Amino acid sequence: MADDETIEAVQKALDYAPERNFMESIELAVNLREVDLSQPQNRLDEEVVLPNGRGKEIKVGVFGSGELAHQAKDVADMVIEPDEIEDLAEDGSRARKIAQEHQFFLAEPPLMTVIGRELGSILGPQGKMPNPIKPDDDLEKMVASLKGTVRVRSRDRRTFHVPVGTEKQDPEDIADNIDTVKRRIVQNMDRREANIESMYVKTTMGPAVRIM
Q: Are residues 158 and 175 in the same domain?
A: yes
CB atoms within 10 A of CB 110: 12
**Which residue among 146, 166, 187 closes a domain?**
146
Q: For residue 165, give the CATH number of its domain.
A: 3.30.190.20
Residue ranges for the chain with pLDDT beneath 50: none
The per-residue pLDDT for 22 is 87
DSSP 8-state class, residue 194? G
The per-residue pLDDT for 21 is 83
Q: Which domain holds residue 112?
A: 60-146
**Which residue among 146, 174, 190 closes a domain?**
146
Q: How far apart are CA 185 and CA 45, in angstroms?
A: 10
Q: Are residues 92 and 121 in the same domain?
A: yes
Q: Are residues 64 and 42 in the same domain?
A: no
Burial of 150 (0-12, 13-18, 19+ CB in 10 A): buried
For residues 208, 168, 126 and 32, what is the CA-based torsion angle, rounded to 10 degrees?
A: 30
- Phi then psi for residue 80, to 5 deg, are -115, 115
pTM here?
0.90
Question: What's the number of domains the chain is made of?
Answer: 2
Helix spans in the chain (H)? 4-16, 66-75, 82-90, 92-101, 112-123, 139-146, 171-187
Question: pLDDT, tens digit, for every residue of 103-140?
Answer: 999 999 999 999 999 999 999 999 999 999 998 999 99
Q: Are residues 113 and 166 in the same domain?
A: no
Q: Are residues 138 and 153 in the same domain?
A: no
